[in-house]
């Protein structure tokens, strides 16, 4: 057995069995002092006051003096599986060209699609590895990765295979999402129906049969898929047992939200242009709103109405949306800091958003996302004595140790 003792704080994100946070609970955080965590195998066996520890010799001891323990961070929305660079487009953006304008000229997502189609599976896996190492160094123990830069059968499957290989190679859990409906590939720009049939009749059945994805996502946007098209794709995905997520209300409101709610999607992501009149619909459901402040920051664009959503009682999570075009930000801590500085979230809300609520966004909140007896022993250890320091140290990574399933998988000396 292992004993994680002497930490200045254990930030548990305990929900007393609810396994997500909204309303008043979202701004609250259980913080234990003078407590230790007992881990047996991969699970939290007990959380006890320091003074009640008896036989120290029973344990392998981790002395966390001057440090704090948080649940392993959960990164619930990324496009980490990409090849190539879009630095040239970043320069265009700095010169004032809009993200959507670049996309309509054949750049944007389609530029990355070209790079992905031209790389081998082995090289792709090698390319992604350092990105995963970087997430782990920040205390992330569960990481969602989407496909979406292949946009044909062969290359979407190649991306999902790469994600599967990485999940097997790395100790963290990597959650695969199929995003074949990211945008229309060049060859089907004028013939949406053929590409949708390819997704519905070929890609989804193959992916489901071979367990290559847990979620199906889509981009509901004027430049990508209409709500009717998403409806067709979601119906097929559901029929094959995939859970649903949707990129929606990023630049336009074209009905994505209603389709997502109709199909009981587990999350709706982006919401930068969410209509105020739609907030009630979200509050009436327990759909998770994955907010992505890095995108607004990177594109110099409006932020999602986070405060209004939280005050209405919506379930809110936060994520990097790490991708080469709209949020080239491989840093969940910076996202947490942006949420504070640009979306007016409180430190407690931010921590709940990247732990228990992000776990709900991945449908894994019954086993991860908080430090509670019986849950997985996934921890992020920070080199500080108080949790608000994580937000205050803008641009710095205070994580010094990452524990997954009770094992130390990263340690900074």
180 binds ligand NIG per the rule CB under 6 A: no
Angstrom distance (rounded) from CA 220 to CA 232: 12
CB 290 to Fe ion: min, Å: 9
Among ligand NIG, Fe ion, none, partner that 107 touches (CB below 5 to 8 angstroms by kind): none
Starting at the edge strand found earlier in the chain, the sheet holding 267-270 runs 73-75, 140-146, 173-181, 215-218, 243-248, 267-270, 288-291, 315-318
* Partners of 173 in the β-ladder: 142
Binder of ligand NIG out of 112, 141, 248, 384 (CB under 6 A): 112
Comparing CA positions, the residue from 332, 363, 364 lying closest to residue 350 is: 332
Looking only at the bridges linking them, the beta strands covering 407-411 and 399-404 are: antiparallel
Interacting stretch for ligand NIG, rule CB under 6 A, among 106-114, 133-141, 339-347, 373-381?
Answer: 106-114
For position 324 contacting ligand NIG by CB under 6 A, the verdict is: yes
Residue 295 binds which one of ligand NIG, Fe ion, none, with CB within 5 to 8 A depending on kind?
ligand NIG
Contact residue for ligand NIG among 20, 219, 225, 322 (CB under 6 A): 219
> CA-CA distance, 73 to 135, in Å (whole number)?
9
The yes or no reply on residue 79 touching ligand NIG (CB under 6 A) is yes
Interface with ligand NIG, residue 247, by CB under 6 A: yes
Q: What is the dihedral of CA 121, 126, 129, 131, to 10 degrees?
A: -90
Q: Does 107 bind ligand NIG (CB under 6 A)?
A: no
Binding of residue 293 to ligand NIG (CB under 6 A): no
CA distance 112 to 88: 12
- 323 vs 365, which CB is nearer to ligand NIG? 323
Element (H, E) at 160: helix 153-169
Number of helices (H) and strands (E) in the chain: give both, helices first: 17, 18
Binding site for Fe ion (CB under 5 A): 321
- The CB-of-224 to ligand NIG minimum distance in angstroms stands at 7
User: Using CB atoms, what's the residue nearest to ligand NIG?
Assistant: 325
Residues that bind ligand NIG (CB under 6 A): 79, 108-109, 112, 219, 247, 250, 295, 321, 323-326
């Amino acid at each position: 057995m292992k004993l994680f003792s002497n930490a200045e704080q254990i930030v548990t994100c305990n929900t007393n069995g609810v396994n997500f946070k909204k309303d008043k609970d979202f701004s609250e955080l259980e913080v234990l002092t003078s407590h230790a965590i007992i881990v047996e195998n991969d699970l939290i066996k007990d959380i006890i006051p320091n003074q009640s520890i008896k036989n120290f010799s029973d344990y392998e001891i981790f002395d966390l003096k001057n440090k704090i323990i948080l649940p392993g961070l959960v990164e619930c929305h990324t496009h980490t599986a990409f090849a190539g660079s879009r630095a040239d487009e970043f320069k265009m953006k700095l010169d004032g060209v809009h993200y959507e304008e670049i996309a309509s000229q054949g750049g944007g997502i389609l530029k990355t699609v070209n790079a992905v189609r031209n790389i081998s599976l082995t090289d792709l896996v090698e390319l992604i590895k350092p990105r995963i190492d970087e997430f782990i160094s920040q205390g992330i123990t569960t990481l969602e990765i989407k496909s979406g830069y292949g946009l044909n059968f062969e290359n979407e499957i190649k991306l999902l295979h790469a994600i599967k290989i990485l999940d097997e190679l790395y100790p963290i859990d990597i959650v695969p999402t199929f995003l074949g409906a990211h945008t229309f590939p060049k060859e089907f720009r004028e013939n949406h129906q053929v590409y949708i049939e390819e997704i519905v009749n070929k890609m989804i059945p193959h992916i489901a049969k071979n367990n290559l994805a847990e979620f199906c996502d889509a981009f509901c946007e004027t430049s990508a898929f209409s709500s009717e098209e998403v409806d067709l794709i979601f119906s097929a995905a559901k029929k094959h047992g995939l859970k649903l997520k949707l990129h929606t209300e990023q630049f336009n409101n074209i009905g994505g939200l209603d389709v997502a709610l109709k199909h009981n999607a587990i999350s709706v992501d982006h919401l930068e242009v969410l209509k105020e009149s739609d907030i009630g619909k979200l509050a009436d459901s327990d759909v998770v709103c994955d907010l992505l402040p890095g995108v607004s920051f990177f594109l110099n664009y409006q932020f999602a109405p986070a405060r209004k959503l939280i005050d209405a009682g919506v379930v809110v999570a936060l994520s990097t949306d790490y991708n080469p075009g709209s949020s080239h930000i491989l840093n969940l801590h910076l996202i947490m800091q942006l949420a504070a500085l640009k979306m007016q979230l409180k430190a407690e809300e931010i921590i709940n958003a990247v732990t228990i609520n992000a776990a709900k966004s991945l449908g894994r909140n019954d086993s991860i996302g908080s430090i509670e007896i019986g849950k997985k022993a996934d921890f992020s250890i920070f080199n500080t004595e108080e949790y608000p320091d994580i937000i205050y140290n803008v641009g710095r990574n205070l994580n010094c140790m990452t524990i997954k399933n009770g094992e130390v998988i990263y340690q900074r000396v």
